[in-house]
Structure 1
């Protein structure tokens, strides 16, 4: 309780490193990484004669525990914003309990405020519930961050003051995970001598990743690969790393040893265009092109950072993998990230798919020659060199696994989108472990559906050959259908 008696306003940060926010519809409660928004600020009201509190949002509504199920058949109940007739109503009261450096917030029914993870519709949702699995015990724990409020200021004055710091438009853009508006004021300090030399070292180290590579694939911060879309123009992200559209051929730029070009499966180049991705924002489109002259728009400078790289255009912007709501989700732009939460969006892991034979170096292409002829010549020379030297190549193995998550009774809604990821393990145990990490659910059962009677049966001994495309059903072990499978002895 001491967390709340010393502060007038707080922010609550979940185990997902996201903040509890009150949406503008004045009803929805969810999680967001944007800590600067007024929607993440909660005014504390102590309940007289007790150890409970009330939390009031920036809209003047209270954090409320309802008895309405979040999803039919599941145990979690909705948490909303509401304006009760009386402040003595129990659903707006929460009892804090300290757990180490964090707190639990228990509703009137004894359930805990819970920040959910996993795939939609669970992702970023907030319910009140009891965690039933070890992997979800920390989902009910919150970090409390006090906020300074003027001692003599009212709630209205405080929110008015905060609104001058964070405008509605920038707040909305941050919620979408988008680049900030060009109107934002961003000033970077002049780099020192040591910083300049460190930067040169990062470039030299990064270029070593590409100098012996004939083909690579790039994995974004979100666990998705850079793909050349089959419309032969768009660039996207996708979890399928085995597709030909995730393969990029590396070319070094003549006269610039530390600059590369990336060519897609259809012989088009990764290009930083001048076209705004969305009007009024700073991010610009990254597309596929075959320019008549190979200019700076198809040139990228790798910069090493940790075990990843940044790819910078010749004009100082970076290849950026976006996330958030459509149209940002899975899009790729070139931009400069200005928020702490999006700094990782310009970092890429490099997987080498094919090594360049030692006898072959990238051929120079003069600016007055069309690339298509030279590309064919390069490919023929490289294929001949490969046949002579019989160079060993390193290919990243893997198979694409498609899956859906069943509800308590083993049913799946038709509109639920099938998800996928690249699996590099050998057996059912490895697959179960990777699915637990992918979904965020512990103790699950990996099943397939019998095509004759439609019933679920668990995968137990071994996986089918890699040539067989797997479409799986994931069942939580503590669900009704999971307990039924165990009772019938179908789960080892």
Structure 2
């Protein structure tokens, strides 16, 4: 990631690099509102709407609904030695992808360039679009988010509410005081809570498996020290995360890997910085292969994975998931051995709190 900061071929990127290494920006102390590992909501100060990850797993839009997993973003903070201020990446707590600016034009009726959710394992040229620099507005209670590739994150739909997407629009970084208020964001911290959210129950009316669209699920199961116990893939129809957990438990049993009660399985999404977050919402509408990391409730692996950043997860993300081709292994019977499940132990993990309408993602305190 450090190399991404030093690679600045375009004037827009050079402007952002100058900001990142500017003592003037350091004096504004913009990152006080962003803490590594915490979850936040981003609210447009002009419209009062929240930045949401769309259900298709790709788009980003603004909605009034506050108590939603789709409005929660995990903060990843990194500061290279040469920089006066850190930069950040924002990871969707719902679908496990990063907020990223692209080079594509924004949809009709929107300003600037398109903003999307992007996978952590995109090529480096795309990874630069995931890097953001937060700078305080003149009032000191809001921020604007400058993308490494140039431009600032902005809301749309001031006069046409149906144009409710977010985008990145070019600005003069030397004239911060005159930025559009559509680029002003209020950062709302989501506090931790002690209760793990329940998975949403599947809808009563579902399509039969033979006609329901399917996707490939690629999983890696870890033990306490990060060693791979099992890996494999299978096809899954529908979007229900509740059904996916049950199907995973059945698949492990049918293939002679382990007999585990479905409620004891925790399916997690890997992040770029070596952490994992549990998958507790229904799957995105897109049918792209889903990569998950599996741990068992009450085991040392469960404790270890959520009490610290696990660098081995990052290795897994860039090796196993990259070389493990779903198209080649789907339908194959994996050669694996049955494993003993360790005894349950006392756990102390904390989760994020919100209204009772929708439980948000959860994460341990650090």
Question: Does TM-score exceed 0.5, indicating one fold?
Answer: no
- TM-score, normalised via structure 2 length: 0.39
- TM-score, normalised via structure 1 length: 0.29
Relative CO higher for 1 or 2, CA cutoff 8 Å, sep ≥ 6? 2
